[in-house]
Amino acid sequence: MGTRQLGEEARDQSGPLTVRAFFGLPLPERHREALGPFLAECQRVGPDFRWTPAENLHLTIRFLGQVEPSLAEGIADRVAAAQPAWFEVQLGETGAFKRGKMARVLWLGLRTGATEISALAATVEAECARAGLEAEKRGFHAHLTLARARPREGAVSPSLPEPPELEPWRADELILYRSRLGRGGSVYEPMRRLRLG
């Protein structure tokens, strides 16, 4: 990977400036706050995982990778022009993406909004394809990432506490984020906010 840290803005020897970018739905601040103690307890029982800080919690719609800002902005323009509708979201139960018996990602699923968020992801995916990005290899699965396993091969899923019961919220904003690697881990900065009508 060289001396450049993952998530930093990059300029190839001969190429333009690029950013590590993704589209996501933000969580309401009250939900982040409510999930803070839950994540702290999860961290205590699951030391083999890197737990997402509450301030970074979001629902990923599409990871773009290291791209030129103008390409990401162009995708955002076309998604905005499609005028996707707002919808209601409620978080559900815990789950895991596994390889065999080992968990690689721990997450919260959705109780409501899965169909609508999948439609939004399909709109974003279509515009990514139009922009020349490689298609996602895996099908979209709406989830809130809680943690990733520290070992590359995964880790045994810990017995997690019950997540807090959080009220549904109106998802009316899609954000194009830039990811930067700071001293304490990744920092997500909005590049563009798209209103969902």
Q: Which CATH number fits domain 17-195: 1.10.287.110, 3.20.20.70, 3.90.1140.10, 1.10.10.60?
A: 3.90.1140.10
**Confidence grade of residue 161 (pLDDT, cut at 50, 70, 90):** very high
| Structure tokens, 117 | 């968020």
What pLDDT is stored for residue 5 in this prediction?
Answer: 39
Cα torsion for 162, 52, 114, 104, to the nearest 10°?
Answer: -90
What pLDDT is stored for residue 1 in this prediction?
Answer: 36
What pLDDT is stored for residue 48 in this prediction?
Answer: 97
What pLDDT is stored for residue 6 in this prediction?
Answer: 39
| Long-range interactions of 121-125: CB distance < 8 A, separation 24+ | 121/61, 121/62, 123/79, 123/82, 123/84, 124/23, 124/61, 124/62, 124/75, 124/79, 124/174, 125/62
When comparing pLDDT for 189 and 16, which is higher?
A: 189
Which pTM does this prediction carry? 0.89
What pLDDT is stored for residue 14 in this prediction?
Answer: 56
